[in-house]
């Protein structure tokens, strides 16, 4: 049974590349283009990991994180937050909200696969 | 991976063009309406998206240039830099440049000949961006440099590493799965053997399945570097205790590991196997030889000597482990006539003894009612014996706090090293005994307090020297008994707490109103309020987000209290007061509105009558104050507090209770006297009830609620404070 | 507690004891996802069984997904059963569970698919 990963980013090329990389590694992928869209798409579906950008329109990554962690089905689901190195305050806010894994943009597809494999295997 | 990128490159170029249009739009709109927040955010996101995606595709030119734009926009967003018209112009030109850089990647042929001119212009723009941001050229290289940190596995000769890891309690709840980390490690090489340590799993009633208690000892044969192995734990570096022993290490490394292992008195053989210094087979052979030797002659050959001679284990490794075994054996010498029993069984016994106390009281009551003198005397004798049993049973649960204190030696050592501070830890009262369940649950709050002292209290050596203090700071942990409680103190001689700063902050946070008159002690203890944090910057040492309010809550959950005193420049003293046991209390029974309530006897100071005029003043308000020996005493009117009907007529009493520094009076209808009782925790359903700490069953079979005196005292104090604010005066003594 | 209550608690212990020796309680079925999301609920079943006086006999045949929290629950069950002087039995471990156990160097000493004989 393959594991499902949700990628939330407003950049379609980012979603596409990360999505293809994850699928080629054997994961199922769910996409959301911002926090609000992701919440609607999750809707109680089982996911094993969420990868989310911090800067997004409509609902940013930190708000999304706080919302998703309120949900009983996702409160223990690991989250990788994507950020830029200049956003230390965002990182602290996100850590407090339960995001322990961070990746600094930009990164290569191999790097995100490496990070993902520390948290869930396909 | 190239094929993935080829597939998605079209999406990237389309998206980038879209983002560039959006950037231009936003910049033009900002030119018209400077400072519009949403536009500014959208502008930042455009640059951010281009940079992130370009990095994914490895378009490093685009990344490093866009990084500068993003940095500048971040400063604009946080208000450090104002977005002036010339700046908008610069950003528009920069957006164009990003477009040209992307164009050059998309169709390299079309750019032939113009490349040099573009590069020159790009360099000029970068300099302008640097000037605007206020950074030196070259700072921006972090964008590309930051990417290198990933999975850089420099090939090395294969060797066998020893990895020792203890995961933090919050691992599972944070979504981290140690199993996944181990699987990841197994992709780096040959991960074998793995020893799973479940020693830290507590007894059934204290076990929380969502808390992580696991640790692992393992061997990894790999060509990967130390960094690559550590990188496997990068997401949990702060939440785990990781130790690596490199391949071909000298024996000293294993000696250090043996010393550092947190598990209590592990057997010598287990340690050596866990370290990978010997195999199980070698150990078994040594054990068998030892058994044979013992059969043939009475002289026991120490297992260490056998191991060293039979397997060629470096003698020093064996000595260190043997030394530890001797140490544990010495402490065991006194215990040798004792049995080791599971804490569960002990708890079961204590619970039964508690029931026996109640049943005995019931039998005594029946005998008294029947006016059967010989039977009454017999039941009284039984009761006295039961009380002796109770005391002995409770003694069984008592453990010394020393072992808990000793854990902090290493913390102090590690932290002082990493912070560059010189700190000496002194411990007194290590032999003070308290209930095992209390000891288990005081560890975390105590750790927080110690780390707070190390991190925030103690100054750097230079600062101490300048202040005329010895460079080596002192942190003390003291424990002692005081009137039915145990007191634990964490004392440091650091910079102390600044009363005015705390007050300012508390007012800022809305915890107190400006102009409130408060004593120094009241101000200092504001740090325990929820929503207060003195740390200006959150560091990794004092824990993220966990404040002193959590420490206080944890201690109060143990029916304890915490207070703090401090003098600027001289240091801080945190005093924790805890009950000796959680299972049984000597109670004081009172009646309120027809119901029975129990107070812990050791908190009762005295009982006085409620004077009619004080009763009139109090009315049916739940909180108030009365005059006691010429002093103002805040009181809680229990009937009103619990929303029961207040009977104004008749004689009522005030039970004066003390908790820590504070006193309060509890207005009750009748005093029923002393009573020994077992605390039964209330269900979760009642956990929110303010002022109730548990329940018990009386000898008559009636249920009585146990009052949570610390909470009531605190409420009374707050009530009195509010009243002071309204400038009402208490009724004066007639 | 009244004497009657006390008597009742003694009898109920005796009943539980009788039930235990008769081996009446069925094996606890572990959930398909033996993960952090289910350990609290499953752990409560363990505690209840131990409190009733029963052995921890676990049917692992449904376990399709397992994480370290799930493994820890099994380890805790084994420790607690020992502390209460009860038996701990795990049978029908699936491949997923076996793989996780062998990665962690653990074994519950019961071959898969072979329930122990002394259950009656």
Same domain, B630 and B494: no
Same domain, B118 and B180: no
Top-confidence residue, A8 or B88: A8
CA dist B97 and B126 (Å) reads 10
Pairwise CB contact (< 8 Å): B216 & C104: yes
Element (H, E) at B210: none
3-state SS assignment for residue B52: helix
CA dist A67 and B381 (Å) reads 63
Nearest to B70 among A24, A84, A108 (CB): A84
Choice among B147-156, B176-185, B275-284, B636-645 with the minimum mean pLDDT: B147-156
Min Cα distance B380 → chain C (Å) is 17
CA dist B638 and B592 (Å) reads 7
Is-contact A47 A20, C-beta < 8 A?
A: no
Which structure tokens are listed for B302?
A: 């120490």
Pairwise CB contact (< 8 Å): B52 & A105: yes
Same domain, B216 and B74: no
Q: What is the CATH number of the domain that holds A109?
A: 3.40.50.2300
Chain C CB contacts of B171 under 8 Å are 68
Min Cα distance B497 → chain C (Å) is 41
Q: What is the CATH number of the domain that holds B448?
A: 3.30.565.10
pLDDT band at B661 (very low <50, low <70, confident <90, very high): low
pLDDT score recorded for residue A5: 95
pLDDT score recorded for residue B685: 56
Residue C78: domain span: 3-115
Pairwise CB contact (< 8 Å): C72 & B203: no
pLDDT score recorded for residue C68: 94
Instruction: Kindly report whether the peptide bond that precedes residue A106 is cis, defined as omega within 30 degrees of 0.
Output: yes
Q: Which residue in A91, A92, A69, A90 sits closest to A79, CA to CA?
A: A69
Pairing mode, if any, of strands B398-400 and B215-222?
unpaired
Alpha-carbon distances of B218 from B271, B531, C70, rounded to whole Å? 12, 42, 20
Which structure tokens are listed for B166?
A: 């203890």
B/e letters for C18-46, b = 16+ CB within 10 Å, e = fewer, are: eebeeeebebbebbbbbbbbbbeebbebb
- For residue B190, the Cα-to-chain-centroid distance in whole angstroms is 35
Choice among B29-43, B232-246, B545-559, B595-609 with the minimum mean pLDDT: B545-559
Mean residue pLDDT of chain C comes to 77
Instruction: Kindly report whether the peptide bond that precedes residue B44 is cis, defined as omega within 30 degrees of 0.
Output: no
Top-confidence residue, C48 or C109: C48
Does any CB of chain B come closer than 8 Å to the CB of residue C6? yes
Same domain, B8 and B131: yes
pLDDT band at B31 (very low <50, low <70, confident <90, very high): confident
Pairing mode, if any, of strands A28-32 and A4-8?
parallel
CA dist B422 and B413 (Å) reads 9
Assess if residue A122 is contained within a domain.
Answer: no
Which structure tokens are listed for B603?
A: 């908190």
Nearest to C104 among B175, B196, B362 (CB): B196
Same domain, B310 and B193: yes
Choice among A27-36, A49-58, B96-105, B356-365 with the minimum mean pLDDT: B356-365
CA dist B160 and B197 (Å) reads 21
Assess if residue B420 is contained within a domain.
Answer: yes
CA dist B458 and B460 (Å) reads 7
pLDDT band at B286 (very low <50, low <70, confident <90, very high): low
Does any CB of chain C come closer than 8 Å to the CB of residue A73? yes
pLDDT band at B253 (very low <50, low <70, confident <90, very high): low
Element (H, E) at B11: helix B2-32
3-state SS assignment for residue B449: helix
Q: In sequence order, what are the residues at sequence separation of 6 or more whose Cβ sits closer than 8 angstroms to the Cβ of residue B187? A: A117
Give the residue-averaged pLDDT of B635-643.
86
Nearest CA in chain A to C37: A76
Choice among B82-86, B261-265, B663-667, C23-27 with the minimum mean pLDDT: B261-265
- DSSP summary character for residue B454: I
CA dist A76 and A62 (Å) reads 16
pLDDT score recorded for residue B491: 93
Does any CB of chain B come closer than 8 Å to the CB of residue C119? no
Q: Which residue in B262, B271, B267 sits closest to B241, CA to CA?
A: B262
CA dist A59 and A36 (Å) reads 6
Read off the pLDDT of residues B319-335 as tens digits, 9 standing for 90 and up.
566 565 555 545 444 44
Q: Is the pLDDT of residue B544 over 60?
A: no
Choice among B21-35, B370-384, B460-474 with the minimum mean pLDDT: B21-35
Pairwise CB contact (< 8 Å): C73 & B209: yes
Nearest CA in chain C to A119: C67
Pure H helices in chain A: 12-24, 35-42, 61-70, 88-96, 109-117
Min Cα distance C105 → chain B (Å) is 5
Chain C CB contacts of A76 under 8 Å are 35-37
- For residue B207, the Cα-to-chain-centroid distance in whole angstroms is 17
Is-contact B24 A78, C-beta < 8 A?
A: no
Pairwise CB contact (< 8 Å): C65 & A73: no
pLDDT band at C51 (very low <50, low <70, confident <90, very high): confident
Mean residue pLDDT of chain B comes to 76
Q: In sequence order, what are the residues at sequence separation of 6 or more whose Cβ sits closer than 8 angstroms to the Cβ of residue C79? A: B198, B201
Give the residue-averaged pLDDT of B46-50.
88
Which structure tokens are listed for B78?
A: 């946080």
Residue A31: domain span: 4-117
Q: In sequence order, what are the residues at sequence separation of 6 or more whose Cβ sits closer than 8 angstroms to the Cβ of residue A44? A: A71, A73
| Distance spanning both ends of chain B, measured CA to CA | 91
Pure H helices in B232-372: 251-260, 268-275, 280-296, 303-311, 315-335, 343-369
pLDDT score recorded for residue A68: 92
Q: How many CA atoms lie within 13 A of B128 on its CB side?
A: 15
Pairwise CB contact (< 8 Å): A109 & B180: no
Chain C CB contacts of A73 under 8 Å are 37
Pairwise CB contact (< 8 Å): B44 & A55: yes
Chain B CB contacts of A69 under 8 Å are none
Assess if residue A44 is contained within a domain.
Answer: yes
pLDDT band at B402 (very low <50, low <70, confident <90, very high): confident
Choice among B17-26, B40-49, B638-647 with the minimum mean pLDDT: B638-647
Q: What is the CATH number of the domain that holds B74?
A: 1.20.120.160
Q: How many domains does chain C have?
A: 1
pLDDT band at B645 (very low <50, low <70, confident <90, very high): confident
Top-confidence residue, C28 or C6: C28
- DSSP summary character for residue A122: -
Give the residue-averaged pLDDT of C14-42.
74
Q: In sequence order, what are the residues at sequence separation of 6 or more whose Cβ sits closer than 8 angstroms to the Cβ of residue C32? A: C62, C63, C64, C65
Pairwise CB contact (< 8 Å): B15 & A78: no
Nearest CA in chain C to B217: C104
Same domain, B405 and B540: yes
DSSP assignment string, B631-648: EEEEEEEHHHHTTPPP--
CA dist A103 and A84 (Å) reads 8
Which residue in the block uniquely carries the two structure tokens 């009137």?
B483
Is-contact C46 C86, C-beta < 8 A?
A: no
pLDDT score recorded for residue C57: 92
Give all chains having 3 or more CB-to-CB distances under 8 Å with chain C. A, B
Residue B185: domain span: 159-331
pLDDT score recorded for residue B268: 40
Does any CB of chain A come closer than 8 Å to the CB of residue B172? yes
Which residue in the block uniquely carries the two structure tokens 């039915």?
B484
Min Cα distance B194 → chain C (Å) is 5
Does any CB of chain B come closer than 8 Å to the CB of residue C65? no
DSSP assignment string, A65-85: HHHHHHSTTTTT--EEEEE-T
Same domain, B363 and B323: no
Is-contact B206 C47, C-beta < 8 A?
A: no
pLDDT score recorded for residue C12: 43
- DSSP summary character for residue B235: G
Same domain, B405 and B391: no
pLDDT band at C22 (very low <50, low <70, confident <90, very high): very low
pLDDT score recorded for residue B659: 73
pLDDT score recorded for residue B214: 92
Alpha-carbon distances of B215 from A27, B211, B445, C100, rounded to whole Å? 29, 13, 22, 15
pLDDT score recorded for residue C118: 39
Pairwise CB contact (< 8 Å): C37 & A1: no
pLDDT score recorded for residue C28: 92
Chain B CB contacts of C30 under 8 Å are none
Does any CB of chain B come closer than 8 Å to the CB of residue C31? no
Residue B599 phi/psi, 5-degree rounding, is: -115, 145
Mutate to test the interface with B, among C63, C81, C105 (most CBs of B within 10 A): C105
The maximal CA–CA distance of chain B, rounded, in angstroms, is 118
Nearest CA in chain A to C64: A1
Q: Which residue in B239, B241, B240, B243 sits closest to B544, CA to CA?
A: B239
Mutate to test the interface with B, among C33, C46, C69, C102 (most CBs of B within 10 A): C69
pLDDT score recorded for residue C77: 94
Mutate to test the interface with C, among A45, A48, A76 (most CBs of C within 10 A): A76
Choice among B54-68, B69-83, B377-391, B637-651 with the minimum mean pLDDT: B637-651
Residue B657, classified by CB atoms within 10 Å of its CB into exposed (0-12), middle (13-18) or buried (19+), is: buried
Alpha-carbon distances of B374 from B53, B368, B371, B400, B570, rounded to whole Å? 92, 10, 9, 43, 65
Q: Is the pLDDT of residue B148 over 60?
A: no
Is-contact B655 B588, C-beta < 8 A?
A: yes
pLDDT band at B156 (very low <50, low <70, confident <90, very high): low
- What percent of chain B has a predicted confidence (pLDDT) above 90? 5
pLDDT score recorded for residue A27: 92
- Cross-strand pairs, B664: B657
Mutate to test the interface with C, among B177, B209, B343, B361 (most CBs of C within 10 A): B209
The maximal CA–CA distance of chain A, rounded, in angstroms, is 39
Total Cβ atoms within 10 A of residue B126: 18
pLDDT band at A101 (very low <50, low <70, confident <90, very high): confident
Identify each DSSP E strand in B174-247 by its residue range. 189-197, 215-222, 240-245
Does any CB of chain B come closer than 8 Å to the CB of residue C68? yes
CA dist B484 and B580 (Å) reads 7
CA dist C90 and C109 (Å) reads 8
Which structure tokens are listed for B31?
A: 């030119």
CA dist A71 and A64 (Å) reads 11
Q: What is the CATH number of the domain that holds C44?
A: 3.30.750.24
Pairwise CB contact (< 8 Å): C105 & B194: yes
Give all chains having 3 or more CB-to-CB distances under 8 Å with chain A. B, C
3-state SS assignment for residue C89: strand
Same domain, B229 and B366: no
Top-confidence residue, A72 or B699: A72
Q: How many domains does chain B have?
A: 5
Give the residue-averaged pLDDT of B700-721.
77
Same domain, B575 and B589: no
How many contacts (CB atoms, under 8 Å) link A and C?
Answer: 6
Is-contact A70 A24, C-beta < 8 A?
A: no
Chain A CB contacts of B5 under 8 Å are 17, 109
Q: Which residue in C82, C107, C86, C75 sits closest to B197, CA to CA?
A: C75
Same domain, B533 and B591: no
CA dist B632 and B724 (Å) reads 11
Q: Is the pLDDT of residue B209 over 90?
A: yes
CA dist C46 and C56 (Å) reads 7
Nearest CA in chain C to B193: C105
Assess if residue B338 is contained within a domain.
Answer: no
pLDDT score recorded for residue B287: 52
How many contacts (CB atoms, under 8 Å) link A and B?
Answer: 143
Assess if residue C120 is contained within a domain.
Answer: no
Q: Is the pLDDT of residue A64 over 90?
A: yes
Is-contact C62 C33, C-beta < 8 A?
A: no
CA dist A102 and B478 (Å) reads 40
- What percent of chain A has a predicted confidence (pLDDT) above 70? 97
pLDDT score recorded for residue A1: 65
Assess if residue B23 is contained within a domain.
Answer: yes
Assess if residue B301 is contained within a domain.
Answer: yes
């Amino acid at each position: 049974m393959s594991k499902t990963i949700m990628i939330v980013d407003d950049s379609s090329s980012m979603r596409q590349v990360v999505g293809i990389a994850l699928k080629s590694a054997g994961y199922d992928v769910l996409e959301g283009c911002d926090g609000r869209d992701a919440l609607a798409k999750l809707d109680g579906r089982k996911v094993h990991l969420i990868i989310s950008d911090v800067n997004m329109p409509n609902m940013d990554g930190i708000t999304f994180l706080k919302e998703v962690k309120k949900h009983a089905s996702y409160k223990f689901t690991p989250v990788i937050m994507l950020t830029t190195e200049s956003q230390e305050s965002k990182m602290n806010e996100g850590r407090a909200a339960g995001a322990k894994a961070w990746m600094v943009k930009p990164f290569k597809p191999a790097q995100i696969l490496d990070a993902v494999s520390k948290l869930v295997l396909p | 991976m190239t094929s993935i990128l080829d597939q998605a490159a079209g999406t990237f170029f389309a998206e980038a063009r879209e983002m560039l249009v959006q950037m231009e739009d936003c910049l033009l709109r900002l030119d018209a309406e400077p400072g519009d927040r949403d536009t500014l955010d959208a502008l930042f996101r455009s640059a951010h998206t281009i940079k992130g995606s370009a990095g994914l595709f490895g378009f490093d030119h685009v990344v490093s240039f866009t990084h500068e734009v993003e940095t500048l926009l971040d400063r604009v967003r946080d208000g450090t830099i104002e977005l002036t018209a010339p700046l908008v112009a610069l950003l528009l030109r920069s957006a164009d440049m990003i477009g040209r850089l992307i164009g050059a990647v998309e169709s390299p042929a079309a750019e032939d000949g113009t490349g040099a001119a573009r590069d020159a212009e790009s360099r000029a723009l970068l300099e302008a961006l640097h000037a605007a941001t206020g950074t030196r050229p070259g700072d921006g290289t972090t964008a590309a440099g930051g990417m290198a940190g990933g999975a850089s596995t420099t090939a090395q000769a294969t060797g066998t590493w020893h990895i020792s890891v203890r995961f933090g309690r919050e691992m599972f709840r944070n979504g981290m799965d140690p199993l996944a980390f181990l699987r990841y490690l197994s992709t780096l090489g040959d991960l074998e053997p793995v020893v799973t340590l479940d020693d830290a799993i507590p007894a059934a009633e204290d076990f929380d399945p969502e808390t992580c208690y696991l640790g692992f000892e393992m061997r990894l044969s790999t060509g990967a570097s130390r960094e690559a192995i550590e990188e496997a734990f990068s997401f949990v570096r702060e939440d785990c205790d990781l130790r690596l022993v490199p391949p071909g290490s000298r024996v000293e490394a294993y000696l250090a590991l043996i010393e550092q292992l947190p598990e209590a008195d592990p057997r010598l053989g287990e340690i050596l196997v866990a370290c990978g210094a010997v195999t199980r087979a070698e150990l078994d052979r040594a054990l068998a030889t030892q058994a044979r030797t013992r059969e043939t002659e009475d002289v026991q050959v120490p297992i260490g000597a056998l191991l060293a001679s039979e397997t060629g284990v470096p003698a020093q490794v064996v000595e260190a482990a043997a030394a530890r075994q001797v140490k544990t054996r010495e402490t065991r010498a006194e215990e040798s006539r004792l049995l080791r029993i599971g804490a569960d069984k002990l708890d079961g016994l204590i619970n039964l003894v508690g029931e026996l106390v109640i049943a005995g009281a019931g039998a005594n009551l029946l005998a008294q009612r029947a006016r059967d003198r010989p039977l009454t005397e017999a039941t009284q004798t039984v009761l006295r014996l039961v009380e002796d049993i109770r005391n002995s049973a409770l003694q069984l649960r008592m453990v010394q706090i020393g072992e808990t204190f000793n854990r902090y030696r290493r913390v102090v050592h590690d932290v002082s090293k990493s912070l560059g501070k010189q700190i000496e830890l002194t411990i007194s009262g290590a032999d003070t005994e308290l209930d095992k369940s209390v000891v288990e649950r005081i560890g975390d709050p105590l750790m927080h307090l110690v780390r707070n002292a190390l991190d925030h209290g103690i100054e750097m050596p230079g600062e101490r020297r300048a202040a005329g203090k010895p460079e080596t700071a002192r942190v003390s942990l003291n424990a002692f008994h005081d009137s039915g409680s145990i007191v634990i103190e964490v004392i440091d001689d650091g910079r102390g707490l600044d009363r005015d700063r705390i007050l300012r902050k508390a007012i800022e946070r809305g915890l107190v109103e400006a102009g409130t008159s408060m004593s120094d002690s009241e101000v200092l203890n504001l740090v325990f309020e929820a929503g207060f944090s003195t740390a200006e910057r959150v560091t990794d040492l004092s824990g993220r987000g966990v404040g002193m309010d959590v420490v206080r809550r944890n201690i109060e959950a143990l029916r304890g209290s915490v207070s703090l005193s401090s003098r600027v420049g001289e240091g801080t003293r945190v005093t924790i007061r805890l009950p000796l046991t959680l299972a049984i209390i000597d109670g004081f029974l009172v009646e309120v509105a027809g119901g029975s309530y129990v107070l812990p006897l050791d908190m009762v100071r005295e009982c006085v009558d409620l004077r009619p005029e004080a009763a009139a003043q109090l009315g049916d308000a739940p909180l108030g104050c009365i005059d006691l020996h010429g002093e103002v005493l805040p009181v809680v009117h229990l009937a009103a507090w619990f929303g029961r009907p207040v009977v104004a007529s008749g004689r009522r009493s005030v039970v004066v209770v003390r908790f820590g520094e504070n006193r309060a009076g509890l207005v009750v209808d009748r005093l029923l006297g002393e009573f020994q009782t077992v605390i039964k925790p209330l269900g979760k359903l009642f956990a929110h009830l303010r002022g109730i700490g548990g329940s018990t069953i009386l000898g008559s079979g009636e249920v009585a609620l146990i009052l949570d005196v610390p909470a009531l005292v605190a409420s009374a104090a707050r009530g009195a404070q509010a009243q002071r604010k309204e400038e009402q005066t208490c009724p004066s003594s007639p | 507690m009244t004497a009657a209550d006390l008597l009742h608690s003694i009898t109920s212990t005796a009943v539980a004891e009788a039930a235990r020796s008769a081996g009446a309680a069925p094996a606890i079925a572990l959930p398909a996802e033996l993960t952090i999301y289910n350990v609290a609920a499953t752990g409560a079943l363990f505690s209840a069984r131990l409190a009733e006086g029963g052995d921890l006999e676990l049917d692992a045949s449904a376990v399709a997904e397992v994480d370290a929290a799930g493994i820890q629950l099994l380890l805790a069950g084994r420790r607690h059963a020992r502390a209460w002087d009860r038996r701990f039995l795990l049978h029908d471990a699936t491949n997923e569970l076996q793989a996780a156990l062998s990665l962690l160097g653990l074994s519950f000493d019961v071959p898969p698919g072979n329930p122990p004989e002394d259950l009656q």
